[in-house]
Amino acid sequence: QPPTAIASYIQAARRNLEKGRDDTRDKVFENLDKAVAQGTRAAEIIRRLRQFIEKRETEYLQGDINGIVEEVRAMALIDAARKGVKVKMNLGRNLPLVVMDRIQIQQVVVNLVRNSLDALAESKRSELTVTTSAAENNSVEVAVSDTGPGLPDEVANQLFKPFVTTKPDGMGVGLSICRSIIDEHGGRLWTTPNPGGGTIFCFTLPAISDTGESYDQ
Ligand code: ADP
């Protein structure tokens, strides 16, 4: 990822300077050019992400969380079938409505499901379960659980920071975007180990109270 690459090119430049041989100058230039290229790439990624997020106005409407999960299901089933993953849906009945930007919440669910499918790629037991339920403080909870290897130690403490990834082609921005979307909605996003092995990502969204007002927690 660009920030890591920049740091290692600059470190390499430093080491080359320390060695101070005849060919040092060329090597240092090469290291610095590569660092500049990675810096430019990082700036471009951030610019594109901003554009993507800012392109449309957020549209908060009352809606049913199960509808969102059903929409994501079609996509998930295609990917899951290809990867030999069994998908289960435990959708709570008569859940209260929530106020949400449908596209953003769909993006969150897609992201969590994709991460689980990635995590399951090498697992012997491959199950992905999406559960929706009513939760405390008049909120609705969505849990995406998998039977994958669990969170890699090196990222477990900084999952929600941008550019944190263990995937060769990953950008490492999915979970940080998910967290800001859920924060903006007044909900919470967290992760917990799956007791049988694997990971569970959960998020809540405040539900509408009987009077139609969004519940103030
Ligand atoms: P990316 O998917 O581009 O790496 P994310 O921010 O979505 O970016 O995820 C960051 C990292 O968190 C992943 O690279 C992976 O190491 C870890 N991760 C996320 N979800 C899971 C999961 N369900 N099981 C195991 N590791 C996960």
Residue 202 has pLDDT above 70, yes or no: yes
* Percent of the chain topping pLDDT 70: 94
Whether ligand 1 lies within 6 angstroms of the CB of 101 is answered as no
CA distance 201 to 203: 7
CA distance 28 to 10: 9
Whether ligand 1 lies within 6 angstroms of the CB of 128 is answered as no
Going by pLDDT thresholds of 50, 70 and 90, the confidence category of residue 139 is very high
Which pLDDT belongs to residue 39? 87
Going by pLDDT thresholds of 50, 70 and 90, the confidence category of residue 217 is very low
Ligand 1 centre distance from Cα of residue 115 (Å): 5
Whether ligand 1 lies within 6 angstroms of the CB of 116 is answered as yes
Whether ligand 1 lies within 6 angstroms of the CB of 165 is answered as yes
Tell me the pTM.
0.80
CA distance 15 to 12: 5
Ligand 1 centre distance from Cα of residue 121 (Å): 13
Ligand 1 centre distance from Cα of residue 165 (Å): 6
